[in-house]
Structure 1
Amino acid sequence: MVSSIIKFIGSPRGYSTIFYVISGISFPIHLFGSYCILFQTSATMKSVKWTLFNLHFWSAALDLSISFLAQPFFCTPTMAAFPLGVLSLIGVPNDLLMLSIYTIFMLVPVSIISMFENRYFVLFVNRGCWRYFRYPFLVANYIIVITYCFIIYLEIPDQEIAIKKLFKKYPRFYNFEIPVSSFIVISDEDRSWQKLRRISVISFILLEIIVFGILLRVKLKLSMKKIASSISSKTLQMQKRFIKALNLQIAIPLIVIFVPIIAGMIFKALSIVNPQAFSNLLNFYFSLHGVLSTILMLYLQNPYREAVLSIFCCRKPVESKIFTTAGKFSRKSMT
């Protein structure tokens, strides 16, 4: 029984079937998340509305690209794959599908940076010199990521030669019963300078996320200490919940993204009974990152949580209160 399940998970047919089920569950959740951001965002959160929608859009796009539109079946342990999704069925070229997925994957952390930067700017430095540099900084991030992905696209090897090498080295791929023409070899050899470039770009993006995350946390704590004596305990607790929500909303999706990457690197050095099934399980897990992010957003942000309760539980929405006793910081603290 267990071996049959593992075999099903490791097969292209099982892989595609499971992903269609995942996409069927995730699509309405993403759609409802979009509705909440666009139509249920409160006035106190209006300054973060579009950066939040930007993050939600790219997260949802990544989920649906992997689980429905492209469904890339990565041939473990190579840098080769073949698409099984609806876009491949209508004849979209494999190289464009892979370029699109990788670009969307890289745009997700960049959109996280945009959201962090937005909250940092609105809360603390909206009148400082940073307002002159923020847009060039944000645009530069997008340019760097898109350029990096385009370089990878240009380095895709000659497919006729690369696929011959692939099947010669891994003849078991013939068992997939997929036409050879459906395969795409993204890279036939991972050179050291390519690894260095990849690590550098990913580290650069992660460093920005960490820096803005730390700045936000430290600044919020310092501001709370300064105004703690002039505000009610209820308002102070609201600020603490805001910090916790911010951390969870970003940290958990990031963990979901990078756990499969780390696990994939570890499993290469280990002896796995069915490496393809194991790799597919990681891909299933990875494809849930956007759904988790959306669910967390709906739960952690009060206006969206009230919208969920009013729509699905027939509960009347509770009017949000804006605390003004703390002056300027408390009025903007939930934006």
Structure 2
Amino acid sequence: MCSTQEDTIFLDSPFVYSLLLHIMTALSTPVHILGLYIILFRTPKSMGSVKWYLFNLQIWIVLFDISVGFFTIPVLLLPRFAMFPMGILKVLGVPSFIQTFSVFALLGFMMISIIAIFKNRFFAVCSFRWKKFCVKWKRTWIMLHYFGVIVALIIFGFMSPNQEMAKQRLLEALPCLPAYIRTSPIFIACEDYTYQLLLMVFFTTLACLEVLFFAISIGWHSIQQLRTKQISSKTFKMQRNFFFAVLIQIGVPMVLLLFPFGYQWMAVVCNYYNQAYNNLSMITEAMHGLVSTIVTLLVHRPYNWEDNWVGKNHVFVKNGYRYVCEYSRMVNC
């Protein structure tokens, strides 16, 4: 089902779509650089155990952000599992299917890095009998997640149909496609998307259950340790503040993924095509990286602007006298 002309807005224009993504990339790049710098060089020793997990998450966020906003600029053709690129990689002659799978791979790796942060806090805070056994396999467990994403994408690749015939059927199913889309190098991932959809739902559900398990376990163990006086109230407060900061860091930007994912799901289920809304969903997803970096710098006390740039010793000279203003702060993480 195609939308009527009244349903469309200026976002269905390829020029406006690519321009907005380019502007977002230009705005987010310096913020990403600042975020990477602060994580690398401003992370206190008390956060050393989680530093590289935060850095790993930030790297995948930056790569996904730049990929969507500059390198690929994917144009979705929902409700069909089809897209074509408009980014710099298209100019360089990179095949559309490689660009498609690279975007999905970066999205999957970004989700895994989120799980890894909660896993890190789980092993740092929780104490249980089988912890020693789990510690030996925690890296293997994470690597299996990356391996699973790669295997799933390979399966998707082998299940993709003959592109010429699939494109012809796509044009017949969506006769309202504008001319610039009809002449673009469209890649159709699948026509019968039952298995692909089930696999995506499985991985998404598994990731959510893992994060939920880690979050509940961390909260429960922290309370139990406080009750049995295994940790002090000050340590509990530090763990609680950092845990809430991580939840905010992950949760707030995740909204910018859940809403477009929700629309994309409904577009597939309802067999509804509207290019403006498809483009809007991708623009919203592309905002995830910028918002995630800003939230990270705001919610973690050691990273915020005041503690990093204002809470320093300042030296100034007035009337021939040298003055030193000292600031001392307690950093909680």
Normalized against structure 1, the TM-score is what?
A: 0.84
Cα 1:260–1:320 change in 2 (3 A) is same
Aligned position for 1:156: 160
Aligned position for 1:249: 249
Residue 245 of structure 2 aligns with an amino acid whose one-letter code is: A
**Residues 195-274 of structure 1: pairs in structure 2 closer than 5 A:** 195-227=197-229, 230-231=232-233, 237-267=237-267
CA distance in structure 2 between the partners assigned to 1:38 and 1:229 by the alignment: 29
- Is 1:186–2:189 an aligned residue pair? yes
Aligned position for 1:316: 312
CA distance in structure 1 between the partners assigned to 2:232 and 2:10 by the alignment: 62
**Could you give the per-residue CA deviations for residues 12-66 of structure 1, whole angstroms, max 9, x where no partner exists?**
1111111111111111111111111111111111111111111111112111111
Contact 1:79 1:187 in 2 (8 A): yes
SS at 1:185's partner residue?
strand
**Percentage of pairs with the same residue:** 27
Aligned position for 1:326: none
SS at 2:303's partner residue?
helix
Contact 2:302 2:308 in 1 (8 A): no
Cα 1:136–1:269 change in 2 (3 A) is closer
**Could you give the per-residue CA deviations for residues 260-280 of structure 1, whole angstroms, max 9, x where no partner exists?**
1112223556798x8221221
Aligned position for 1:331: none
Shift, 1:194, TM fit: 3.1
> Aligned-pair RMSD on alpha carbons?
2.8
Residue 253 of structure 1 aligns with an amino acid whose one-letter code is: P
SS at 2:190's partner residue?
coil
Residue 130 of structure 1 aligns with an amino acid whose one-letter code is: C
CA distance in structure 2 between the partners assigned to 1:275 and 1:322 by the alignment: 49
Shift, 1:177, TM fit: 1.9
Residue 161 of structure 1 aligns with an amino acid whose one-letter code is: M
Cα 1:238–1:51 change in 2 (3 A) is closer
- Is 1:144–2:143 an aligned residue pair? no
**Could you give the per-residue CA deviations for residues 94-135 of structure 1, whole angstroms, max 9, x where no partner exists?**
111001000111111111111111122123349733211212
CA distance in structure 2 between the partners assigned to 1:227 and 1:86 by the alignment: 58
Contact 1:40 1:307 in 2 (8 A): no
Aligned position for 2:110: 108
Cα 1:193–1:238 change in 2 (3 A) is closer
Contact 1:9 1:277 in 2 (8 A): yes
Aligned length, in residue pairs: 314
Gaps of 5+ in 1: 324-333
